[in-house]
Amino acid sequence: MKNEIETIKKSIWDSASLIGRSLNLMEVCGTHTMAISKYGLRDIMPPNINLISGPGCPVCVTSITDIDRIIMLSRKYPAGIFTFGDMIKVPGSDSSLYLERSRGSDINICYSPKDALDFAIGNPHKEVIFIAIGFETTIPLTAVLIERARMQDIKNFSIINLHKLVPPALKALLEDREIRIDGFLSPGHVSVIIGSHPYEFICKEYGIPCVISGFEPYDIMTSIDMLLRQIKQGKPEVQIQYSSVVRESGNPGALKIIDQVFNPCDSDWRGIGCIPGSGLTLRKKFVNYDSSLRFPIEEINSADPAGCICGEILKGKKNPGQCRLFGKSCRPDHPVGPCMVSSEGSCAAYYRYERFKSHFVKNLP
Ligand code: SF4
Protein backbone atom coordinates (compact mmCIF):
# COMPACT_ATOMS: atom_id res chain seq x y z
CA MET A 1 0.00 0.00 0.00
CA LYS A 2 2.88 2.38 0.82
CA ASN A 3 4.20 2.02 -2.71
CA GLU A 4 0.75 2.58 -4.16
CA ILE A 5 0.32 5.79 -2.14
CA GLU A 6 3.76 6.97 -3.31
CA THR A 7 2.76 6.29 -6.92
CA ILE A 8 -0.50 8.26 -6.54
CA LYS A 9 1.36 11.07 -4.81
CA LYS A 10 3.84 11.28 -7.68
CA SER A 11 0.99 11.34 -10.19
CA ILE A 12 -0.69 14.18 -8.22
CA TRP A 13 2.56 16.18 -8.18
CA ASP A 14 3.15 15.58 -11.91
CA SER A 15 -0.38 16.70 -12.83
CA ALA A 16 -0.23 19.72 -10.52
CA SER A 17 3.08 20.75 -12.05
CA LEU A 18 1.75 20.43 -15.59
CA ILE A 19 -1.42 22.38 -14.74
CA GLY A 20 0.70 25.05 -13.06
CA ARG A 21 -2.01 27.34 -11.74
CA SER A 22 -3.38 27.29 -8.23
CA LEU A 23 -6.40 24.98 -7.74
CA ASN A 24 -9.09 24.85 -5.05
CA LEU A 25 -10.40 21.32 -4.59
CA MET A 26 -13.38 21.19 -2.26
CA GLU A 27 -14.12 18.15 -0.13
CA VAL A 28 -17.85 18.40 0.44
CA CYS A 29 -18.16 15.90 3.24
CA GLY A 30 -17.17 16.43 6.87
CA THR A 31 -15.89 12.86 7.08
CA HIS A 32 -13.45 13.70 4.27
CA THR A 33 -12.44 16.86 6.14
CA MET A 34 -11.60 14.82 9.23
CA ALA A 35 -9.69 12.20 7.24
CA ILE A 36 -7.66 14.83 5.36
CA SER A 37 -6.62 16.42 8.65
CA LYS A 38 -6.10 13.17 10.54
CA TYR A 39 -3.87 11.56 7.93
CA GLY A 40 -1.97 14.75 7.07
CA LEU A 41 -2.97 14.72 3.40
CA ARG A 42 -2.66 18.51 3.14
CA ASP A 43 1.02 18.14 4.08
CA ILE A 44 1.80 16.04 1.02
CA MET A 45 -0.07 18.13 -1.56
CA PRO A 46 1.84 20.20 -4.13
CA PRO A 47 1.94 23.90 -3.20
CA ASN A 48 -0.60 24.85 -5.87
CA ILE A 49 -3.27 22.42 -4.59
CA ASN A 50 -5.57 23.81 -1.88
CA LEU A 51 -7.87 21.35 -0.19
CA ILE A 52 -10.80 23.42 1.01
CA SER A 53 -13.76 22.26 3.08
CA GLY A 54 -17.37 22.61 2.06
CA PRO A 55 -20.83 22.52 3.64
CA GLY A 56 -20.89 18.78 4.29
CA CYS A 57 -21.33 18.72 8.05
CA PRO A 58 -25.07 18.57 8.86
CA VAL A 59 -24.69 19.95 12.37
CA CYS A 60 -22.55 22.84 11.12
CA VAL A 61 -24.96 23.94 8.37
CA THR A 62 -28.00 23.95 10.65
CA SER A 63 -28.93 27.62 11.03
CA ILE A 64 -28.74 29.26 14.42
CA THR A 65 -32.43 30.14 14.06
CA ASP A 66 -33.25 26.44 13.90
CA ILE A 67 -31.07 25.79 16.99
CA ASP A 68 -32.85 28.61 18.84
CA ARG A 69 -36.26 27.22 17.83
CA ILE A 70 -35.42 23.82 19.33
CA ILE A 71 -34.18 25.47 22.52
CA MET A 72 -37.38 27.50 22.71
CA LEU A 73 -39.47 24.39 22.11
CA SER A 74 -37.65 22.51 24.89
CA ARG A 75 -38.47 25.34 27.30
CA LYS A 76 -42.09 25.69 26.29
CA TYR A 77 -43.34 22.10 25.98
CA PRO A 78 -42.81 19.10 28.30
CA ALA A 79 -41.98 16.81 25.38
CA GLY A 80 -39.02 14.42 25.32
CA ILE A 81 -36.58 15.64 22.67
CA PHE A 82 -34.23 13.07 21.11
CA THR A 83 -31.11 14.12 19.25
CA PHE A 84 -27.74 12.89 18.06
CA GLY A 85 -24.85 13.81 20.37
CA ASP A 86 -23.21 16.64 18.46
CA MET A 87 -26.37 18.77 18.29
CA ILE A 88 -26.63 19.05 22.04
CA LYS A 89 -23.52 21.23 22.39
CA VAL A 90 -24.12 23.60 19.47
CA PRO A 91 -24.48 27.11 20.90
CA GLY A 92 -27.67 28.98 20.11
CA SER A 93 -28.04 32.73 20.58
CA ASP A 94 -28.16 32.49 24.37
CA SER A 95 -28.10 28.81 25.33
CA SER A 96 -27.63 25.28 24.04
CA LEU A 97 -29.59 22.04 24.40
CA TYR A 98 -26.89 20.90 26.82
CA LEU A 99 -27.56 23.92 29.07
CA GLU A 100 -31.31 23.51 28.74
CA ARG A 101 -31.03 19.89 29.82
CA SER A 102 -29.12 20.95 32.93
CA ARG A 103 -31.99 23.38 33.61
CA GLY A 104 -34.56 20.60 33.46
CA SER A 105 -35.63 20.24 29.82
CA ASP A 106 -36.20 16.64 28.74
CA ILE A 107 -33.41 16.28 26.17
CA ASN A 108 -32.01 12.86 25.33
CA ILE A 109 -29.12 11.66 23.18
CA CYS A 110 -29.92 8.77 20.87
CA TYR A 111 -27.76 6.72 18.54
CA SER A 112 -30.50 5.82 16.09
CA PRO A 113 -33.78 7.50 15.19
CA LYS A 114 -35.41 4.19 16.04
CA ASP A 115 -34.57 4.80 19.73
CA ALA A 116 -36.88 7.82 19.69
CA LEU A 117 -39.77 5.97 18.07
CA ASP A 118 -39.33 2.98 20.40
CA PHE A 119 -39.46 5.35 23.37
CA ALA A 120 -42.67 6.90 22.02
CA ILE A 121 -44.22 3.45 21.59
CA GLY A 122 -43.25 2.46 25.12
CA ASN A 123 -44.50 5.75 26.61
CA PRO A 124 -47.78 6.55 24.85
CA HIS A 125 -48.67 9.44 27.19
CA LYS A 126 -45.42 11.29 26.55
CA GLU A 127 -44.89 13.46 23.45
CA VAL A 128 -41.62 12.49 21.74
CA ILE A 129 -39.80 14.72 19.27
CA PHE A 130 -36.88 13.53 17.16
CA ILE A 131 -34.48 16.11 15.67
CA ALA A 132 -34.16 14.76 12.13
CA ILE A 133 -30.84 16.02 10.82
CA GLY A 134 -28.50 14.94 8.06
CA PHE A 135 -28.16 14.69 4.32
CA GLU A 136 -29.37 12.06 1.88
CA THR A 137 -27.52 9.39 3.86
CA THR A 138 -29.82 9.60 6.88
CA ILE A 139 -33.04 10.80 5.23
CA PRO A 140 -34.21 7.27 4.29
CA LEU A 141 -34.00 6.26 7.99
CA THR A 142 -36.26 9.13 8.97
CA ALA A 143 -38.63 8.32 6.11
CA VAL A 144 -38.89 4.68 7.21
CA LEU A 145 -39.53 5.83 10.77
CA ILE A 146 -42.33 8.18 9.74
CA GLU A 147 -43.92 5.50 7.58
CA ARG A 148 -43.73 3.05 10.48
CA ALA A 149 -45.25 5.58 12.90
CA ARG A 150 -48.15 6.11 10.49
CA MET A 151 -48.73 2.41 9.93
CA GLN A 152 -48.72 1.73 13.68
CA ASP A 153 -50.84 4.85 14.30
CA ILE A 154 -48.32 6.28 16.80
CA LYS A 155 -49.82 9.61 17.83
CA ASN A 156 -47.21 10.90 20.31
CA PHE A 157 -44.24 11.03 17.89
CA SER A 158 -43.10 13.86 15.60
CA ILE A 159 -39.92 15.25 14.03
CA ILE A 160 -38.18 18.58 13.79
CA ASN A 161 -37.21 18.26 10.18
CA LEU A 162 -33.75 19.72 9.51
CA HIS A 163 -32.77 17.39 6.67
CA LYS A 164 -30.88 18.94 3.78
CA LEU A 165 -29.94 17.93 0.23
CA VAL A 166 -26.36 18.19 -1.03
CA PRO A 167 -26.60 18.91 -4.82
CA PRO A 168 -28.55 22.21 -4.46
CA ALA A 169 -25.91 23.42 -1.98
CA LEU A 170 -23.14 22.69 -4.49
CA LYS A 171 -25.07 24.66 -7.10
CA ALA A 172 -25.38 27.60 -4.67
CA LEU A 173 -21.59 27.56 -4.12
CA LEU A 174 -20.94 27.44 -7.87
CA GLU A 175 -23.20 30.47 -8.34
CA ASP A 176 -21.25 32.46 -5.74
CA ARG A 177 -18.75 34.63 -7.65
CA GLU A 178 -16.59 35.08 -4.55
CA ILE A 179 -15.67 31.39 -4.43
CA ARG A 180 -13.56 29.63 -7.03
CA ILE A 181 -13.88 25.87 -6.97
CA ASP A 182 -11.87 23.84 -9.47
CA GLY A 183 -13.10 20.38 -8.48
CA PHE A 184 -15.36 18.58 -6.05
CA LEU A 185 -14.61 15.53 -3.94
CA SER A 186 -18.21 14.43 -3.53
CA PRO A 187 -19.43 12.56 -0.48
CA GLY A 188 -19.37 8.78 -0.75
CA HIS A 189 -22.19 7.88 1.62
CA VAL A 190 -24.61 10.53 0.25
CA SER A 191 -23.85 9.13 -3.19
CA VAL A 192 -24.68 5.58 -2.08
CA ILE A 193 -28.25 6.88 -1.88
CA ILE A 194 -28.47 9.38 -4.75
CA GLY A 195 -25.92 7.88 -7.17
CA SER A 196 -23.83 9.99 -9.54
CA HIS A 197 -26.50 11.50 -11.84
CA PRO A 198 -27.51 14.38 -9.52
CA TYR A 199 -23.95 15.79 -9.81
CA GLU A 200 -23.88 15.90 -13.59
CA PHE A 201 -24.90 19.57 -13.72
CA ILE A 202 -21.53 20.37 -12.10
CA CYS A 203 -19.54 19.34 -15.16
CA LYS A 204 -22.21 20.04 -17.80
CA GLU A 205 -23.24 23.54 -16.64
CA TYR A 206 -20.09 24.70 -14.86
CA GLY A 207 -17.29 22.72 -16.53
CA ILE A 208 -15.97 21.48 -13.19
CA PRO A 209 -14.91 17.90 -12.47
CA CYS A 210 -16.40 15.84 -9.71
CA VAL A 211 -15.19 12.56 -8.16
CA ILE A 212 -17.28 10.58 -5.68
CA SER A 213 -14.74 9.48 -3.12
CA GLY A 214 -14.37 6.88 -0.40
CA PHE A 215 -13.00 7.80 2.99
CA GLU A 216 -9.66 6.06 3.46
CA PRO A 217 -6.48 8.06 2.72
CA TYR A 218 -5.93 5.87 -0.34
CA ASP A 219 -9.45 6.69 -1.62
CA ILE A 220 -9.03 10.42 -1.10
CA MET A 221 -5.58 10.51 -2.73
CA THR A 222 -6.87 8.49 -5.69
CA SER A 223 -9.86 10.84 -6.04
CA ILE A 224 -7.60 13.92 -6.00
CA ASP A 225 -5.48 12.27 -8.68
CA MET A 226 -8.62 11.58 -10.75
CA LEU A 227 -9.72 15.23 -10.40
CA LEU A 228 -6.32 16.52 -11.53
CA ARG A 229 -6.28 14.18 -14.52
CA GLN A 230 -9.66 15.54 -15.58
CA ILE A 231 -8.47 19.13 -15.17
CA LYS A 232 -5.27 18.34 -17.09
CA GLN A 233 -7.21 16.78 -19.96
CA GLY A 234 -9.88 19.52 -19.94
CA LYS A 235 -12.63 16.88 -19.80
CA PRO A 236 -14.77 17.45 -16.72
CA GLU A 237 -17.08 14.61 -15.79
CA VAL A 238 -18.53 12.80 -12.79
CA GLN A 239 -16.40 9.81 -11.84
CA ILE A 240 -17.00 7.25 -9.11
CA GLN A 241 -13.90 6.31 -7.14
CA TYR A 242 -16.00 4.69 -4.38
CA SER A 243 -17.29 2.09 -6.80
CA SER A 244 -17.49 -0.68 -4.20
CA VAL A 245 -20.73 0.83 -2.88
CA VAL A 246 -21.83 3.67 -5.19
CA ARG A 247 -23.92 2.97 -8.29
CA GLU A 248 -24.76 5.56 -10.96
CA SER A 249 -28.46 5.27 -10.15
CA GLY A 250 -27.97 5.18 -6.37
CA ASN A 251 -30.23 3.11 -4.15
CA PRO A 252 -33.71 2.94 -5.78
CA GLY A 253 -35.39 1.61 -2.62
CA ALA A 254 -34.04 4.45 -0.47
CA LEU A 255 -34.94 7.06 -3.10
CA LYS A 256 -38.46 5.66 -3.31
CA ILE A 257 -39.15 5.87 0.43
CA ILE A 258 -37.74 9.43 0.53
CA ASP A 259 -40.09 10.39 -2.28
CA GLN A 260 -43.06 8.70 -0.59
CA VAL A 261 -42.61 10.67 2.62
CA PHE A 262 -41.07 14.01 1.63
CA ASN A 263 -41.44 16.85 -0.86
CA PRO A 264 -38.51 19.14 -1.73
CA CYS A 265 -38.65 22.68 -0.30
CA ASP A 266 -36.31 25.60 0.31
CA SER A 267 -34.02 25.46 3.33
CA ASP A 268 -31.80 27.81 5.34
CA TRP A 269 -28.13 26.90 5.59
CA ARG A 270 -25.75 28.53 8.04
CA GLY A 271 -23.50 30.92 6.18
CA ILE A 272 -25.13 30.33 2.83
CA GLY A 273 -28.72 31.40 3.51
CA CYS A 274 -31.83 30.07 1.83
CA ILE A 275 -31.08 27.56 -0.94
CA PRO A 276 -33.97 26.71 -3.26
CA GLY A 277 -34.96 23.04 -3.24
CA SER A 278 -32.33 22.08 -0.67
CA GLY A 279 -34.68 20.94 2.09
CA LEU A 280 -37.56 18.53 2.54
CA THR A 281 -41.03 18.89 3.92
CA LEU A 282 -43.35 16.08 4.97
CA ARG A 283 -46.02 15.17 2.43
CA LYS A 284 -49.64 15.96 3.35
CA LYS A 285 -50.38 12.42 4.44
CA PHE A 286 -47.60 12.62 7.10
CA VAL A 287 -48.16 16.19 8.24
CA ASN A 288 -49.23 15.07 11.76
CA TYR A 289 -45.61 14.07 12.34
CA ASP A 290 -44.34 17.64 11.85
CA SER A 291 -43.33 19.05 15.26
CA SER A 292 -43.41 22.63 13.99
CA LEU A 293 -47.17 22.33 13.42
CA ARG A 294 -47.92 20.47 16.64
CA PHE A 295 -45.73 22.62 18.87
CA PRO A 296 -45.82 26.17 17.51
CA ILE A 297 -43.35 28.74 18.77
CA GLU A 298 -43.11 32.46 18.18
CA GLU A 299 -40.72 34.12 15.71
CA ILE A 300 -37.14 34.38 16.91
CA ASN A 301 -34.47 36.95 16.14
CA SER A 302 -31.26 34.93 16.06
CA ALA A 303 -27.74 36.19 15.50
CA ASP A 304 -24.63 34.15 14.72
CA PRO A 305 -21.97 34.34 17.46
CA ALA A 306 -19.88 37.51 17.25
CA GLY A 307 -16.51 36.85 15.58
CA CYS A 308 -17.37 33.31 14.45
CA ILE A 309 -16.64 32.73 10.75
CA CYS A 310 -18.28 29.28 10.46
CA GLY A 311 -20.38 30.60 7.58
CA GLU A 312 -17.30 31.59 5.56
CA ILE A 313 -15.59 28.29 6.38
CA LEU A 314 -18.61 26.27 5.24
CA LYS A 315 -18.43 28.06 1.87
CA GLY A 316 -14.72 27.35 1.47
CA LYS A 317 -13.87 31.06 1.61
CA LYS A 318 -11.79 30.84 4.76
CA ASN A 319 -10.08 28.23 6.87
CA PRO A 320 -10.28 27.87 10.65
CA GLY A 321 -6.85 29.47 11.10
CA GLN A 322 -8.33 32.72 9.87
CA CYS A 323 -10.78 32.90 12.77
CA ARG A 324 -9.45 35.14 15.54
CA LEU A 325 -11.35 33.09 18.15
CA PHE A 326 -9.77 29.75 17.14
CA GLY A 327 -8.00 28.08 20.06
CA LYS A 328 -8.61 31.14 22.25
CA SER A 329 -12.21 31.71 23.26
CA CYS A 330 -13.30 28.87 20.91
CA ARG A 331 -12.04 25.39 21.74
CA PRO A 332 -13.65 21.93 21.77
CA ASP A 333 -14.29 22.26 25.52
CA HIS A 334 -15.82 25.70 24.95
CA PRO A 335 -17.12 25.91 21.37
CA VAL A 336 -18.38 29.22 20.04
CA GLY A 337 -19.61 27.90 16.69
CA PRO A 338 -20.81 24.53 15.37
CA CYS A 339 -17.65 23.87 13.31
CA MET A 340 -15.79 23.41 16.61
CA VAL A 341 -18.51 21.20 18.09
CA SER A 342 -19.17 18.64 15.43
CA SER A 343 -17.08 15.52 15.00
CA GLU A 344 -17.18 16.44 11.28
CA GLY A 345 -16.50 20.16 11.70
CA SER A 346 -13.52 21.86 10.06
CA CYS A 347 -12.51 23.77 13.17
CA ALA A 348 -12.62 20.60 15.28
CA ALA A 349 -10.49 18.81 12.65
CA TYR A 350 -7.92 21.61 12.51
CA TYR A 351 -7.84 21.92 16.29
CA ARG A 352 -7.27 18.21 16.76
CA TYR A 353 -4.77 17.54 14.00
CA GLU A 354 -3.41 20.66 12.29
CA ARG A 355 -3.20 23.63 14.59
CA PHE A 356 0.57 23.44 15.01
CA LYS A 357 1.36 23.01 11.32
CA SER A 358 2.97 25.68 9.19
CA HIS A 359 0.23 25.72 6.55
CA PHE A 360 -2.35 26.42 9.20
CA VAL A 361 -2.98 30.04 8.31
CA LYS A 362 -2.92 29.74 4.57
CA ASN A 363 -4.83 32.41 2.71
CA LEU A 364 -6.97 31.08 -0.07
CA PRO A 365 -6.32 32.52 -3.54
S1 SF4 B 1 -12.96 28.65 15.52
FE2 SF4 B 1 -14.92 28.68 16.60
S3 SF4 B 1 -15.64 30.77 16.39
FE4 SF4 B 1 -14.07 30.45 14.84
S5 SF4 B 1 -15.17 29.79 13.04
FE6 SF4 B 1 -14.57 27.96 14.11
S7 SF4 B 1 -16.31 27.47 15.39
FE8 SF4 B 1 -16.59 29.61 14.75
pLDDT more than 70, % of the chain: 98
The band of 28, judged by pLDDT with boundaries at 50, 70 and 90, is: very high
pLDDT tens column, 187-202: 999 999 999 999 999 9
| pLDDT at res. 105 | 96
Calpha distance 288→284 (Å, rounded): 8
> 228 CA to middle of ligand 1, Å?
31
For ligand 1, atom 7, name the residue with the nearest CA.
337
| pLDDT at res. 360 | 64
Query: Does residue 359 carry a pLDDT above 90?
Result: no
| pLDDT at res. 364 | 46
Query: Does residue 363 carry a pLDDT above 60?
Result: no
For the segment 95-107, the average pLDDT, to the nearest whole number, is 96
- DSSP one-letter string for 286-325: GGGGBHHHHS--------PPTT--HHHHHTTS--GGG-TT
For the segment 308-324, the average pLDDT, to the nearest whole number, is 94
Is 309 close to ligand 1, i.e. is its CB under 6 Å away?
Answer: yes
Q: What CA–CA distances, in Å, run from 202 to 99, 205, 237, 242?
A: 42, 6, 8, 18
pLDDT tens column, 266-292: 999 998 999 999 999 999 999 999 999
For the segment 157-177, the average pLDDT, to the nearest whole number, is 96
Query: Does residue 362 carry a pLDDT above 80?
Result: no
Query: Does residue 141 carry a pLDDT above 50?
Result: yes
Taking each helix axis as running N to C, give the angle between helix 217-233 and helix 2-19, from 0 to 180 degrees, rounded to the nearest 10: 30
Q: What CA–CA distances, in Å, run from 127 to 81, 131, 179, 197, 293?
A: 9, 13, 44, 40, 14
For the segment 173-180, the average pLDDT, to the nearest whole number, is 94
| pLDDT at res. 172 | 96
* Range with lowest mean pLDDT among 144-148, 215-219, 338-342, 360-364: 360-364
Q: Which atom of ligand 1 is nearest to the CA of 340?
A: 7
| pLDDT at res. 361 | 58
Please state whether beta strands 23-27 and 49-53 pair in parallel, antiparallel, or not at all (unpaired): parallel
- DSSP one-letter string for 229-258: HHHHHT---EEES-TTT--TT--HHHHHHH
For the segment 135-147, the average pLDDT, to the nearest whole number, is 96
Q: Give the gyration radius of the chain's Cα atoms.
A: 21
For the segment 87-103, the average pLDDT, to the nearest whole number, is 94
Using most ligand atoms within 8 A of CB, pick from 339, 342, 343, 346 the residue to mutate for ligand 1: 339
Q: Which atom of ligand 1 is nearest to the CA of 326?
A: 1
Is 70 close to ligand 1, i.e. is its CB under 6 Å away?
Answer: no
Is 119 close to ligand 1, i.e. is its CB under 6 Å away?
Answer: no
Query: Does residue 338 carry a pLDDT above 60?
Result: yes
Q: What value does the mean pLDDT of the chain take?
A: 94
Query: Does residue 365 carry a pLDDT above 60?
Result: no
pLDDT tens column, 55-89: 999 999 999 999 999 999 999 999 999 999 889 99
> 270 CA to middle of ligand 1, Å?
13
Is 314 close to ligand 1, i.e. is its CB under 6 Å away?
Answer: no
Query: Does residue 169 carry a pLDDT above 90?
Result: yes
The band of 341, judged by pLDDT with boundaries at 50, 70 and 90, is: very high
| pLDDT at res. 357 | 81
Calpha distance 351→100 (Å, rounded): 27
336 close to 306: Cβ distance less than 8 angstroms: no
The band of 238, judged by pLDDT with boundaries at 50, 70 and 90, is: very high
All domains of the chain, ordered by start, with CATH?
1-308 (3.40.50.11740), 310-351 (no CATH)
For ligand 1, atom 6, name the residue with the nearest CA.
347
Is 227 close to ligand 1, i.e. is its CB under 6 Å away?
Answer: no
pTM for the full predicted model: 0.93
Q: What does the buried/exposed string (b/e) look like for 107-141 if buried means 16 or more CB atoms within 10 Å of the residue's CB?
A: beebeebeebbebbeeeeeebbbbbbbbbbbbbbb
For the segment 189-218, the average pLDDT, to the nearest whole number, is 97
> 221 CA to middle of ligand 1, Å?
27
| pLDDT at res. 5 | 86
Query: Does residue 336 carry a pLDDT above 80?
Result: yes
